[in-house]
Structure 1
Amino acid sequence: MRTEVRGADGVRIGVRVEGVHGEPASPAPVIVFVHGWAQSADAWELQLSDPRLAEHFRLVAMDLRGHGRSDVPGADAYGDSRVWADDLAAVLELAGAPAVVVGWSYGGLVVTDYVRVHGTANLAGIVYAGAITELGRDQPGGVVGPAMRNALPDALSADDEVARPAVRRLCGGMTVGSGGEAFVDDILAVPAHVRAGLFRRTVSSAGVLGGIDVPTLVVHGERDAVVDITAAEYVAGKIPGARTRWLPGVGHLPFAEEVRTFDEELAAFTRDAYRKVNR
């Protein structure tokens, strides 16, 4: 099912809902998925259609503002942590709280923005998957790998002849094997002012991460060439009690490169997080 909510400043946020809903007196545990830069809710297709998840959880995937089926506001609508936090808050209200929220790549920063503004209210747990939590020069939670470094700034260009080769280089480095190339057209479908707008801020999150008080799992491919694994190590070191799952031979798409492992870890983590909520 596809629907929408109103996020910050009335921006329409596209939402995809799958899985079970449960009974009113006993709703199903909820997992909310937040995709990365220049992607959409459909990046989570393998999770949304996996019976190991869909038969037991309510699965909710959002399109970030400017992406997918969401509204595309102007260039100045992407630089404030509060707008990202409030967009996610609107999705969480639709999804039913508390929820386990999964942030991939830039989605990890959006999740962190939510905590920055709203704390851990309505969260049962957090999963950072190949994620950044900071942005800007010398921010340890935002260290990128060679595939991203080699793509910027050309991948942000409004000139398709400049952007396409850079995006192709980036996508070629997303996975250890083949598969990342399938994202080229999806990335270029996101308007250039959105692609660039997401990078026009500097965000430090050390204090925010240190205050997270819900179960947290950090999942990262050991061969991620888009977000360096040191960014994940930084997150895990800041969040009290954070669990880690390093995946050997895996790049920037742990949920696609190791679907079974990722989904089983996510299901187990969600059940455990909900047991803590219901104590």
Structure 2
Amino acid sequence: MADDVRPRLVRTLSGAGGVRLALREAGDPSSPPIVLLHGWAASALSWADQLEDDALTARYRLIAADLRGHGESATPDDGYDDPAVWAGDVAALLEYAGRPAVLVGWSYGGLVVTDYLRVCGTAGVAGIVLVGAITEIGRGLPGGAVGPVMARIMRPALSEDPAVAVPALTTLAERMTAEPGTAEQVRRRLADSLRVPARVRAALFRRTAASGDVLAAVDVPVLVVHGDADEIISVAAGEYAAGKIPGARRRWFTGVGHMPLAERAAEFNDDLRAFAGSVMDH
């Protein structure tokens, strides 16, 4: 990969309220943009297999942001329960992209995408990819259905006590994929989780948002991706989103867990490249 398209860290982008958002970027800045939003207690490094993919970066500009409170981004005291704040962060990323982008949300990142749609509609969005994503949050809401592992570890994972939280977060890191990750992959996922303060990990779940009407109003192409062996976010959440969004395409990965972007990176990247081409290469 040429030096000028290697992933590089940018620390100066201002999100909602002036909060500093960090991002990693790869590809030619003049290429059509793909904006990548990671999940709860993760970071932009979750997208390493995309940022380092020569075929993707040869055709597209990849912009992978650390959500507020995560990774290299700032950690404000509040705003994590406010759709307008998340929408403002995404709006800043889309403005930075400079032209309509494919917006990709993995896991909790799907809820952030939905918050943007709730507040701003599809302005600046050429297409959407939801990956193992939730689009709702709150007890009994089908678009937020979690899998058995997340249901078991959620409460301890929010604890301020490291003796309680670390084992739960370790389990989460280990069970992100159906096939066991390498020791380095698990260590990196755990490190990302531990970098997020417990107060932020908890605040992200301290909200309720139904999204049926928001999803039904989407007027750009959408691809819904889910692993059928996902133990973190139930495949039912993906089915819900795909059923609500007009014309949504489905791509289920057989025998794959919560991270098709890592567990089946080559196939996922092919799908992402094909989808982006269908909506942006004109």
TM-score by length of 2: 0.94
TM-aligned CA deviation for residue 17 of structure 1? 1.4
- Are positions 1:12 and 2:33 aligned together? no
- Structure 1 residue aligned with 2:9: 2
Task: Supply the distance in 2 between the matched residues of 1:73 and 1:173 (Cα, whole angstroms).
Answer: 29
Aligned to 1:236: 242
User: Counterpart amino acid of 2:127?
Assistant: G
SS at match of 1:240: coil
Match of 1:259 in 2: 265
Instruction: Please state how far the C-alpha of 1:169 moved relative to its aligned partner.
Output: 1.9
Instruction: Tell me, in whole angstroms, the C-alpha distance in 2 between the residues paired with 1:151 and 1:169.
Output: 8
Match of 1:25 in 2: none
Between the aligned partners of 1:152 and 1:265, the Cα distance in structure 2 is 31
**Residue-pair matches, total:** 270
The offset of 1:42, in angstroms, is 1.1
Task: Provide runs of 4+ in structure 1 moved above 3 Å.
Answer: none
**Matches of 1:189 and 1:178, distance apart in 2:** 23
Q: Give the structure 2 partner of residue 245 of structure 1.
A: 251
Deviations 1:85-137 (A, max 9, x none): 10010011111220001100000000010011000010000000000000010
1-side partners of 2:170 and 2:51: how far apart?
26
In structure 1, what residue type is equivalent to 2:88?
D
* Cα distance between partner residues in 1 of 2:191 and 2:63: 24
Contact 1:79 1:200 in 2 (8 A): yes
- Structure 1 residue corresponding to 2:210, chosen from 204, 209, 216: 204
TM-score norm. by structure 1 comes to: 0.95
Q: Residue 48 of structure 2 aligns to which amino acid in structure 1?
A: E
Shift of 1:171: 2.1
What is the rounded CA distance, in whole Å, between the counterparts of 1:274 and 1:185 in structure 2? 35
Give the match's secondary structure for 1:71. coil
Q: What is aligned with 2:167?
A: 165
Residue 44 (str. 1) matches residue 52 (str. 2): no
2:61 matched residue in structure 1: 58
Gaps in structure 2 of 5+ consecutive residues? 1-7
**Structure 1 contact 67–190 (Cα < 8 Å) conserved:** yes
> Contact 1:150–1:169 at 8 Å: present in 2 too?
no
Contact 1:65 / 1:72 at 8 angstroms: preserved in 2? yes
Q: Matched residues in 1 for 2:59 and 2:117: separation? A: 26
CA separation in 2, counterparts of 1:97 and 1:207? 26
> What percent identity do the matched residue pairs reach?
54
Task: Give CA-to-partner distance per residue, 1:181-208, whole Å, 9 cap, x none.
Answer: 3312221111101100100000100000
- Among candidates 15, 29, 41, match of residue 21 of structure 1: 29
Q: Distance in 2 between matches of 1:84 and 1:190?
A: 17
Q: Using the alignment, how far apart are the partners of 1:273 and 1:66 within structure 2? A: 31
**Alpha-carbon distance, 1:9 to partner:** 1.2
Cα separation, 2, equivalents of 1:20 and 1:262: 21
**In angstroms, what is the RMSD of aligned CA positions?**
1.0
Q: What's the CA shift for 1:2? A: 2.0
Q: Residues 16 and 61 of structure 1 are in contact (CA less than 8 Å); yes or no, is this contact kept in structure 2? A: yes
Q: Distance in 2 between matches of 1:245 and 1:17?
A: 26
Cα distance in 2 for residues equivalent to 1:102 and 1:263: 12
What is the CA distance between 1:68 and its match in structure 2?
A: 0.8
| Residue aligning to 1:70 | 73
